[in-house]
Amino acid sequence: MMAGLERTPTGELPVVERVVSQTQVDLPGLYETHYRRLVKLASFYTDDTETAEEVVQDAFVKLLNGNYRIDSNAGAYLRSMVLNGARSQLRKRKVRRDYVPDVPRPVDAAEVGGVAAAASSEIVAALRSLPQKQSAVLVLRYFLDLSEADIAQTLGIARGSVKSHASRGLAKLARTIPELQA
């Protein structure tokens, strides 16, 4: 059983009423006295009057809903509540301003991808039609960006051979795919 609560003769617990502080009773008076100055105070921290009014109204709502026992200086307590609310708004605004979402890359039209895929498959087919050494030299040179010395070492051929295979392969590709001459 709860301490200090006696059951009624019927066995029920008595209804406990909420304690209302003097501040809650005087809330309309506090509102009349302090509202405009509190909005002015909040407007120094927030850029617009609407947000300042919301901060002040939130402070009054918290005061009303809370069980605050403010006997002497309710105005000072309200000012600190408003300052805290305004600072909170500033923090939220800073987070929103500092957060920059990733900008989505522009997407090419479907035709661009189709044309690129067709051109790519045409080039791959043309490379496959070349003799093995020529296609290997061109793939290593233009797709992997290897130097002539690296290509020669990879394929086990002389640097002069790399140059001649590349030259002959490019000439055949230019005849197969006329667009590559440009």
- Residue spans of the domains in the chain: they are 22-98, 122-181
Say whether pTM exceeds 0.95.
no
Task: State the Cα angle at 25 between 20 and 28, rounded to 5°.
Answer: 145
Average pLDDT over residues 84-99: 89
Name the one residue in this structure whose structure tokens are 């059951």: 7
Name the one residue in this structure whose structure tokens are 């209804």: 15
3-state secondary structure at position 5: coil
Report whether 178 contacts 170 (CB < 8 A): no
- Judged against a pLDDT cut of 80, whether residue 110 lies above it is answered with no
- Judged against a pLDDT cut of 90, whether residue 166 lies above it is answered with yes
Q: Which of 66, 55, 51, 57 is nearest to 30 (CA)?
A: 57
Q: What is the pLDDT of residues 98-108, one digit of tens each?
A: 887 888 888 76
CATH number of 122-181: 1.10.10.10
- Judged against a pLDDT cut of 90, whether residue 162 lies above it is answered with yes
The whole-number pLDDT of residue 169 equals: 92
